[in-house]
């Protein structure tokens, strides 16, 4: 395709910032841009809309390639600090005239005579010669298998603000969202569910019923960020624990209105169910009535809606590592990078075909010791950032790049999580793996996404929660 149009980066979150930064810092990136005007299309980063909270990783594990400023490692990083670092990088890039921002939501991308046309709700935005899609993991998922009353469906789609009776997990976490006093029922056992549970309990105005289809492996990673929800502190059980009930192995079956409240019924899902409070087992969960229902199901991939043709994806292979680092279409003129790629089913199909296991040697050597978590798609911030940078040849061109000691930080975290999971750190295969650069890049996938050993650790936490003295 001849040189024409702008270089469009769709998205304005951390992946888009890493992409632009590493494109500008590499010969590969400068050749790919080839003198085109770079345009950043999308709304400002959503981190600024989240209520302030501690993130699930320490600062060193949230360091972003190509950024001039990196967080320190003083405990779990503040979401506000993470947002500030991203905003500062954008300010530097835009202030230097290296890109032009367009505050639009992209609706579609289609082939034009001389490149691609990018459409938004407001009409044609621009014509592009090259496009990188960095829109993040997707939109908030509700994935309901039950019918909602029409009035609740309407409330679910309302923007954050006034109290409602039903929320997506992400809208419940919006800093501008107000919620009702009383009982909050949270359905979903991943990190979004953990944050929703934390926010409801921290208000001091709510009691919480937290329900998940399976176990809570993703909700209690070995990094320990959410341990306090289900374990005693140094001073014993806190008053907040009295307002928390946790149920695993139950599916939400019906949702009905009961006056101004929401009536729910649950059915067993699978072979194992438990319904716990700090006083011990509560027996069987069959129904509940709440003032607020939170559907904390994470996200669903939103890439395919941009294209009329959902096929034609190919994998982008890192020349340095032989690793799948993203997806591309039209001979690489369009790339899908970061969580937009790693949360896409096709990414995992390709990885399975190429490697037999997306984690390759790293997880294979540990599979006899640690159970592979069930939802491997929930990849960490750092790994997504590294894959974006790897797609731009950033590490191969900057072998001694200044900044964080990636290898030491990641391996330290791996060992810490393994130790919590009860794994013998003297295992020879572990030492051999940690010495390879492949392990350095891949290690955050099992560690920060779900955590090595978190299936073990989450059960340990829940056992302590249910065994609390009456």
* The pLDDT value given to residue 332: 92
Is residue 318 in a domain? yes
Position 452 pLDDT exceeds 70:
no
**pLDDT grade for 451, boundaries at 50, 70 and 90:** very low
Identify whether 350 is part of a domain.
Answer: no
How high is the pLDDT of residue 63? Answer: 79
Verify that 74 and 182 share a domain, yes or no.
no
422 has a pLDDT exceeding 60 = no
Give the mean pLDDT of the chain. 75
Beta carbons within 10 angstroms of residue 424's beta carbon: 9
In this structure, the answer to whether residues 185 and 113 fall within a common structural domain is no
Of the segments 106-120, 304-318, 442-456, which one has the largest average pLDDT value? 106-120
Residue 366 forms part of a structural domain: no
| pLDDT surpasses 50 at 428 | no
2's tokens: 């001849």
| Per-residue pLDDT reduced to its tens digit, 296-324 | 986 667 788 888 766 688 888 877 666 67
For residue 236, pLDDT over 70 is answered with no
Look at residue 145 and tell me whether its pLDDT is greater than 80: no
Mean pLDDT, range 182-193, rounded to an integer = 90
Verify that 91 and 112 share a domain, yes or no.
yes
For residue 6, the model assigns a pLDDT of: 92
Looking at 366, 388, 404, the residue that finishes a domain is 404
Identify the weakest region by mean pLDDT among 308-312, 332-336, 411-415: 411-415
Window from 11-25, 41-55, 63-77, 416-430 with minimum mean pLDDT: 416-430
Cα–Cα dist 345/310, whole Å: 12
pLDDT in tens, 256-295: 999 889 999 999 987 778 888 877 788 899 999 999 999 9
Question: Which whole number is the average pLDDT over 436-453?
Answer: 32
294 and 166 within one domain: yes
Query: In which domain, by residue range, is 238 found?
Result: 140-298+455-466
Residue 203 located in a structural domain? yes
The answer to whether residue 375 scores a pLDDT higher than 50 is: no
What is the reported pLDDT for 464?
64
Spatial distance between the Cα atoms of 117 and 112, rounded to a whole number of angstroms: 6
**C-beta pairs of 81-90 under 8 Å, 24+ apart in sequence:** 82/47, 82/55, 83/45, 83/47, 83/48, 83/50, 86/13, 86/14, 86/17, 86/45, 86/47, 87/45, 87/48, 89/17, 89/21, 89/64, 90/12, 90/17, 90/45
pTM higher than 0.85: no
Please tell me whether residues 148 and 127 are part of one structural domain. Answer: no
Taking 90 as the threshold, does the pLDDT of residue 455 lie above it?
A: no
Dig out the tokens for 333 from the structure.
């003129």
Residues 183 and 322 in one domain: no
Q: Is 439 exposed, middle or buried (0-12, 13-18, 19+ CB in 10 A)?
A: buried
Nearest Cα to Cα of residue 65 among 98, 20, 34, 8? 20
On whether residue 411 sits in a domain, the answer given is no
Of the listed ranges 291-305, 333-347, 367-381, the least confidently predicted one is 367-381
From the list 139, 130, 126, the residue with the least C-alpha distance to 335 is 130
The answer to whether residues 10 and 54 belong to one domain is yes
* Residue 66, in any domain of the structure: yes
**Residues 325 and 292 placed together within one structural domain of the fold:** no
Q: List C-alpha distances in Å: 2 to 129, 167, 170.
A: 8, 47, 41
Q: What is the CA radius of gyration of the chain?
A: 23
Same domain, 290 and 310: no
Residue of higher predicted confidence among 155 and 409: 155
Mean pLDDT of 440-455: 33
Same domain, 74 and 11: yes
Rounded Cα distance, 196 and 176, in Å: 14
Q: Are residues 165 and 293 in the same domain?
A: yes
Q: Note the residue count of the chain.
A: 470
Please report the pLDDT score of residue 105 as a whole number. 85
279 in any annotated domain: yes
Answer yes or no: is 441 within a domain: no
65 versus 225: the higher-pLDDT residue is 65
CATH number of the domain bearing residue 151: 3.50.50.60
The number of domains in the chain is 2
**pLDDT: is 163 or 228 the higher one?**
163
Query: Looking at residue 123, what is its pLDDT?
Result: 67
Residue 184: per-residue pLDDT: 96
**Over residues 110-125, mean pLDDT:** 79
Residues 177 and 269 both lie in one domain = yes
């Amino acid at each position: 395709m001849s040189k024409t149009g702008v270089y469009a980066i769709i998205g304005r979150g951390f992946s888009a910032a890493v992409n632009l930064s590493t494109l500008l810092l590499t010969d590969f990136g400068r050749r790919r841009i080839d003198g085109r005007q770079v345009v950043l299309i999308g709304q400002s980063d959503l981190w600024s809309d989240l209520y302030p909270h501690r993130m699930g990783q320490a600062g060193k594990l949230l360091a972003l390639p190509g950024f001039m400023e990196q967080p320190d490692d003083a405990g779990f990083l503040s979401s506000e600090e993470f947002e500030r670092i991203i905003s500062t990088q954008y300010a530097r890039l835009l202030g230097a005239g290296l890109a032009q921002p367009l505050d639009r939501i992209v609706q579609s991308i289609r082939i034009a005579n001389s490149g691609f046309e990018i459409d938004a709700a407001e009409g044609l935005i621009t014509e592009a010669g090259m496009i990188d899609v960095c829109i993040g993991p997707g939109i908030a998922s509700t994935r309901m298998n039950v019918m909602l009353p029409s009035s609740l469906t309407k409330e679910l789609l309302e923007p954050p603000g006034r109290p409602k009776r039903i929320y997506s997990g992400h809208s419940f976490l919006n800093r501008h969202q107000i919620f009702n006093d009383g009982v909050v029922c949270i359905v979903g056992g991943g990190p979004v569910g953990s944050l929703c549970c934390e926010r409801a309990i921290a208000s001091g105005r709510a009691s919480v019923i937290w329900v998940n289809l399976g176990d809570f492996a993703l909700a209690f990673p070995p990094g320990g960020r959410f341990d306090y929800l289900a374990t005693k502190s140094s001073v014993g059980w806190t008053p907040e624990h009295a307002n928390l009930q946790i149920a695993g192995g139950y599916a939400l079956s019906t949702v009905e209105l009961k006056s101004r409240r929401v009536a729910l019924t649950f059915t067993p899902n699978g072979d194992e169910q438990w319904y716990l409070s700090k006083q011990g087992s509560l027996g069987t969960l069959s129904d509940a009535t709440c003032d607020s229902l939170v559907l904390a199901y994470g996200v669903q991939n939103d890439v395919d809606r941009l294209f009329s043709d959902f096929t034609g994806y190919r994998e982008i292979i890192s020349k340095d590592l032989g690793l799948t680092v993203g997806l591309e279409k039209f001979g690489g003129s369009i790339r899908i990078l970061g969580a937009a790629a790693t949360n896409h089913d096709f990414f995992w199909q390709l990885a399975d075909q190429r490697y037999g296991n997306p984690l390759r040697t790293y997880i294979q050597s540990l599979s006899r010791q640690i159970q592979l978590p069930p939802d491997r798609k929930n990849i960490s911030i750092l790994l997504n950032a590294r894959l974006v940078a790897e797609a731009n040849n950033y590490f191969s061109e900057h072998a001694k790049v200044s900044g964080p000691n990636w290898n030491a930080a990641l391996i330290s975290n791996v060992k810490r999580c393994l130790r919590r999971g009860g794994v013998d750190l003297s295992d020879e295969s572990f030492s051999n793996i940690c010495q390879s650069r492949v392990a350095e890049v891949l290690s955050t996938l099992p560690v920060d996404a779900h955590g090595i050993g978190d299936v073990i650790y989450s059960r340990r936490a829940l056992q302590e929660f249910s065994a609390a003295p009456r």
